[in-house]
A and B are shown apart, each in its own frame.
Chain A
């Protein structure tokens, strides 16, 4: 095989000349030893540094003969197959493998690097010694992260807001939707529509408007009549002022004292006397005495409670005569059906809601002792309790029947009434009937009077006799249990841990007129304001509602 070995000789001023040589053999040896085909007088070359073999397909095989390897096309290698044009670098020498020139099987061009080339080569090979010289960058990842986050955390959810279908799709992917903007858990009561941000946040960049709330809360009672009180002028009265969602499952309703006391201090002056409320602040320190609704009736006997400020010696009119002291004797009472000891719950039973007491029931609570018999000859018969007219009807009907049927064993009554009718007796004559019915009317009248004036009704009730011919007996209306403080939400159910006597001094009461409902001092024994340290911390909302209007609804304002 014929190799062309061309040496490039550099002369001054960039001029170049070539010196060509021929080498015979399959292998071209390269090194510092004298027997090498290409002799390199450079300390950085080993004696037998490398060899190049010409392969049949015009390619060259370059092999390193030393453990340091050889640099081919810039990379250190031990053996590699390259095509023409490959560059082998040893020390200052650059060998370029040539495509076989005419009349040759292979060729190599040898050039020596001059100083500038060496310097350039050195710099090219120099490894980075500063991070700035590496591929590390601050700008590129900064831009990438900045863009990615803006796209995924802001743009994507925002598109989801404006294109509802896309927003819905997003929510079903792991990609961030508008839910990723949710700053905190939604109140438990709102969670059923919590994924629909637009239900409350109807317009972008606008705060939640009352209209959004009123979609559902139109029937929520209002606070005060806007015709009388300009709430926005008194204080911000938008829903969101008090109700801020995304504050946890129970974070929507404010219960703090300031919610009310902000406005209810100096309210009269600020409403130009439109408000009749006294100033209220801290329950323990600046809450006025309670206003109690005492039972009362108007001229038409319609229940019309009277609101008065609670006082210790206040009397009430329940319409009843009752002596708690007598009924609550610790050693009990002798009742017709045996010995009985009464206590509060014998007569006062909470209603189903647990807030107030059920009305006292005559039939189940009083009747065991207080029977309504009217005739010793008919000890089992009693008049019904409740309606005067029913009592009179019943007595009339009873004695009419007795008179007509006869057999009434009262010596003072007419013979026709005393006479017992036997089977087969002839029917009463018209005269006999009239006589019997006349007796019956008289007897019913006596019994009625006896009941309403004597031992029965008047035991407990105030009864007035008929004033004229068309009038009837009148029993005063009664109100025993009910709501005494209508603007507060006291509930017995929450106070089962205290004894009845702790609040109601019933055991010593001998008059029904004794007001057994306690005032604020009794509450203050256990409760104090929001910042109480040694008592039950109680804010306004514990007893009062903000949305408390009986007839005004939020949706109608």
Chain B
């Protein structure tokens, strides 16, 4: 079976984390500090030191993942450990503090840590969910191939539209301008491409044309209708071209949607890191402030 980050090496780091947690809980229960449990008892200092070292080590993952020549463990092992050991901090730090929370730098540090951990949980969710969705969405094409095809369709559509009507040509031109693949952060995350509009206009134009043809045939006297019918045959070619154009634009639409979704999935897999990493550094600063202030007023 495929080995996910969570089940890496038979969930080795899950077990290590559970052992760490159970050990900390047992020590906490057995520990009798004489007064209320707090960070200043020997167990408090011990758990605090473990937690602080863990945080620093977890942040080191950002460096480790860039070191391709690093040969202490695999990157997947590091990530697995990063996730599980990081999660233990939620409880480990509470035990360190003896569940004392307040309106101070110390609890602020804890809150920052929770934000980092839960943004990490979103990242884990994204890594488990989006890669397979991306594969399914792409249908074994690549994003570049799809983009090339879109460009090709644009060319074909323009030449088709040119043969129909300047108005249709303008619609297609506008559709090309409006098709936004990629863009700002929000556009990437929303997976919105502007290719709907052209299709609507084209459908409307086609419907109008057919209506006009019908009404013409109904209203006109037989002689004229006959002439008109002959003339229509010429324009009927345009109708065909128009339908073909609609097919093309539809194909483009579906491609554009796919590309947009591809961009969206990738953005979803990356966006949380733009939160996770800066807040981690905020946490590091708060951790320094927490430790220094604790010993400043020892």
Q: Please indicate whether A and B come from the same complex rather than being unrelated chains.
A: yes
Tell whether, in the assembled complex, residue A150 and residue B288 are in contact, meaning their CB atoms are under 8 Å apart: yes
Contact A76 B177 (CB under 8 A): yes
Q: Is the CB of B297 within 8 A of A201?
A: yes
Among listed A39-47, A359-367, A429-437, A549-557, interface-contacting one: A39-47
- In the complex, which residues 240-263 of chain B have their Cβ closer than 8 Å to any Cβ of chain A? 259, 263
Give the chain A neighbours of B155 by CB distance below 8 A.
43
In the complex the two chains form, what is the Cα distance from A185 to B107 in whole Å? 13
Given A141-B278, A182-B102, A134-B169 contact (CB < 8 Å)? no
CA distance in complex: A487, B158 (Å): 105
Tell me, rounded to whole Å, the shortest Cβ–Cβ distance linking B89 to chain A.
18
Main secondary structure of the interface of B (DSSP, over half): helix
B164 at the interface (CB under 8 A from A): no
**Cβ-defined contact, B166 with A183, below 8 A:** no
Is B282 a contact of A127 with CB atoms below 8 Å? Answer: no
Residues of A within 8 A of B128 (CB): none
Q: What's the minimum C-beta distance from A384 to chain B, rounded to whole angstroms?
A: 57
With both beta carbons as reference points, the residue of chain B lying nearest to A251 in the complex is identified as B36
Known A-B contacts A128-B182, A182-B104, A247-B36; the reply to A138 vs B297 at CB < 8 A is no
In the assembled complex, 29 residue pairs joining A and B whose CB atoms fall closer than 8 Å, in A order, are: A43-B159, A46-B169, A46-B170, A46-B173, A48-B166, A66-B174, A68-B173, A68-B174, A126-B182, A129-B259, A130-B267, A131-B270, A133-B182, A145-B281, A146-B282, A149-B282, A150-B288, A153-B108, A153-B285, A154-B289, A157-B293, A176-B105, A180-B105, A181-B105, A181-B296, A184-B38, A247-B36, A247-B38, A254-B34
Contacts A153-B293, A154-B292, A181-B105 given; 5 further ones with Cβ under 8 A? A66-B170, A131-B270, A134-B185, A153-B286, A176-B105
Quick check: A128 and B188 within 8 Å, CB to CB?
yes
A183 partner, pick from B278, B289, B294, beta carbons under 8 A: B294
Q: Which residues of A contact B38 (CB under 8 A)?
A: 183-184, 244, 246-247
Q: Is there an interface contact between B159 and A197, defined as CB atoms closer than 8 Å?
A: no
| A478 in the interface (beta carbon within 8 A) | no
Number of interface residues of B (CB under 8 A): 60
Question: Counting CB contacts under 8 A, is B137 at the interface?
Answer: no
User: Using Cβ atoms and an 8 Å threshold, which residues of chain A touch B108?
Assistant: 153
Question: Given A67-B170, A142-B277, A147-B285, does the pair A154, B293 have CB atoms closer than 8 Å?
Answer: yes
Indicate whether A161 sits within 8 Å of B170 (C-beta atoms), given known contacts A128-B183, A183-B104.
Answer: no
Query: Hey, which chain A residues are within 8 Å of B263, CB to CB?
Result: 129-130
Is B35 part of the contact surface with A, judged by Cβ < 8 Å? yes
- With an 8 A cutoff between CB atoms, is A342 at the interface? no
A192 contacts partner chain B, Cβ-Cβ < 8 Å: no
Nearest to A149 among chain B residues (CB) is: B285
* Interface segment, one of A203-211, A285-293, A333-341, A502-510: A203-211
A415 to chain B, nearest CB (A): 88
Instruction: For B278, list chain A residues within 8 Å (CB).
Output: 138, 141-142, 144-145
Given contacts A128-B183, A142-B278, A153-B108, contact A158 B34 (CB under 8 A): no
A interface majority secondary structure:
loop
Q: Is the CB of A205 within 8 A of B289?
A: no
Inter-chain CA distance A148–B285, complex, in Å, is 9
For B114, the chain A residues whose CB sits under 8 A away are none
Q: For residue A247, which residues in chain B have a CB less than 8 angstroms away from its CB?
A: 35-36, 38, 100
Q: Is B6 an interface residue (CB 8 A)?
A: no
| A146 to B169 CA separation, bound complex (whole angstroms) | 54
Given contacts A134-B185, A136-B274, A259-B34, contact A184 B289 (CB under 8 A): no
Task: List A residues 226-283 near B (Cβ within 8 Å).
Answer: 242, 244, 246-248, 251, 254, 256, 258-259
Most buried by A among B143, B155, B289: B289
**Nearest residue in B to A90 (C-beta to C-beta)?**
B173
A65 closest partner in B (C-beta): B170
Inside 8 A of B274's CB, which chain A residues have their CB?
A: 131, 136-138, 141
| A247 nearest in chain B by CB position | B36
For residue A148, which residues in chain B have a CB less than 8 angstroms away from its CB? 282, 285
Q: Is the CB of A131 within 8 A of B180?
A: no
- The answer to whether B296 and A146 have CB atoms under 8 Å apart is no
Which chain A residues (515-534) contact chain B, with CB distance < 8 Å?
Answer: none
Contact at A43–B158, with CB atoms within 8 Å? yes
- Ordered nearest first, which 8 A-B pairs have the shortest CB separation? A68-B174, A129-B182, A145-B282, A149-B285, A127-B182, A142-B281, A141-B278, A66-B170
Kindly report which residue of chain B lies nearest to residue A152, judged by CB atoms: B289
Chain A residues lying within 8 Å of B80, measured Cβ to Cβ, are none
CB pair A131–B185 under 8 Å, yes or no, is yes
Q: Are A129 and B36 in contact (CB under 8 A)?
A: no
Whether the pair B285, A242 counts as a contact (CB closer than 8 A) is no
Contact A242 B34 (CB under 8 A): yes
A128 CA to B34 CA in the complex, in Å? Answer: 61
Contact of A248 among B36, B176, B188, B280 (CB under 8 A): B36
Residues of A within 8 A of B (CB): 43-44, 46-48, 66-69, 76, 126-138, 141-150, 153-154, 157-158, 161, 176, 178-185, 197, 201, 204-208, 242, 244, 246-248, 251, 254, 256, 258-259
In this assembly, does B24 line the interface, its C-beta being within 8 Å of a C-beta of chain A?
Answer: no
Shortest C-beta distance, A324 to chain B (Å), equals 45
For window 1-52 of B, CB contacts with A under 8 Å fall at 32, 34-36, 38-40
Q: Establish whether residues B34 and A153, one from each chain, have CB atoms under 8 Å apart when the complex forms.
A: no
B173 to chain A, nearest CB (A): 4
A contact residues around B288 at 8 Å (CB): 150, 154
**A200 to chain B: closest residue by CB:** B297
- Measured between beta carbons, the chain A residues less than 8 angstroms from B293 are 153-154, 157, 181
With A66-B170, A129-B188 given, is the CB distance from A207 to B298 under 8 Å? yes
Shortest beta-carbon distance from A492 to chain B in Å: 30
Q: Establish whether residues A256 and B270, one from each chain, have CB atoms under 8 Å apart when the complex forms.
A: no
| Separation of A201 and B183 alpha carbons in the complex (Å) | 56
- Bound form: Cα–Cα A242–B176 in Å: 78
Chain B minimum-CB-distance residue to A201? B297
The CA-CA distance from A135 to B183 in the complex, in Å, is 11
Cβ of B34 and Cβ of A256 under 8 Å apart?
Answer: yes
B289 touches A145 (CB 8 A): no
Question: How far apart are A202's CB and chain B's nearest CB, in angstroms?
Answer: 10
Query: B181 within 8 Å of A by Cβ?
Result: yes
CB pair B104–A256 under 8 Å, yes or no, is no
Residue B184, interface by CB 8 Å: yes
> How far does the Cβ of B86 sit from chain A's closest Cβ, in whole Å?
18
Inter-subunit contact B104/A47 (CB<8 Å): no
- Given A146-B282, A149-B285, A158-B296, A44 and B105 contact (CB-CB distance below 8 Å): no
Distance of A98 from chain B, by nearest CB (Å): 26
B176 to chain A, nearest CB (A): 8
Looking at the assembled complex, report how far the CB atom of A231 sits from the nearest CB atom of chain B, in whole angstroms: 17
- Let me know if B171 is at the binding interface, CB within 8 A: yes
CB distance from B39 to the nearest CB of A (A): 7
Question: Which chain A residues border B282 with CB–CB below 8 Å?
Answer: 142, 145-146, 148-149
**What's the Cα separation between A206 and B296 when bound, in Å?**
7
**Cβ–Cβ < 8 Å partners of A176 in chain B:** 105
